[in-house]
Structure 1
Amino acid sequence: MKFVVDANVLFALSKPSSVANSLFSKFSLKLFAPDFALIELHKYKGELSDKSGVDFNSAIKSIKEKVVFVDKSEYSGLIKEFSSKISDPKDVVYLALASRLNLPIWSNDKHFKEQSLISVFTTEELLELLSS
């Protein structure tokens, strides 16, 4: 299965023992994220290293091996369309990318469910879906 993932899922993927990593490995998921997400990861590099238990460069390398980062030019035409669909303006890019790729979003942020144009799965919902 393929999903667009948000920064929080990317953080989880950096932690070897996370449920997100288990799902990725067990079900051979194909994951995509907007290139903007890399900026978010760099912004919180100390926290990323602390939570993952590995140094920042290793964490980023691991994430890049699991996720295709898509250039903004691929989805920028859809950003305006989605700008009023979600309360967090930073998350509009995830909706735009998901729409462009015609994929659901994997996120644990509740505000993604404020809209109904793009399907959204939490880690718990994804675990349930894939395990059935």
Structure 2
Amino acid sequence: MSESLVIRQGGCLCGAVRFRATGEPINVRICHCRNCQKATGSPFFARALYSQTALEVEGETGSYPSSATLDRVFCKACGTRLFSWRTNGTAAGVALAAFDDRHALAPTEHIWVSEKMNWVRIDDGLPQSSNGPPPV
């Protein structure tokens, strides 16, 4: 009996970029770090982390190296910020709101809350890490 893998699809605002994520994410987190704030233009980046091999991306994307370890990937046509792509080839964070079913995945923790914006209130009961992710 074969086990079927979950496939979640999504894309950018204009539809020029589409993606498929196969299997379950490594984790689903909300990052409050300053780089994520600046890169998304939002108070935080809610994302599902997948192995890069689990993602198929179609369409023309651009990228910006926001650090030595992370590229921010966006649609070249409409500018939608889609992924945070690790430069070492291991994983990519997929923006939760870019999935077709935006309710399919829910965050399980907050990271970098020491850098969250003052007016953001976290009252969802999820675990919080002051800085980066907790040790595995």
The TM-score with structure 1 as length reference comes to: 0.32
Higher strand share: 2
Higher helix share: 1
The TM-score with structure 2 as length reference comes to: 0.31
Q: Which has the larger radius of gyration?
A: 2
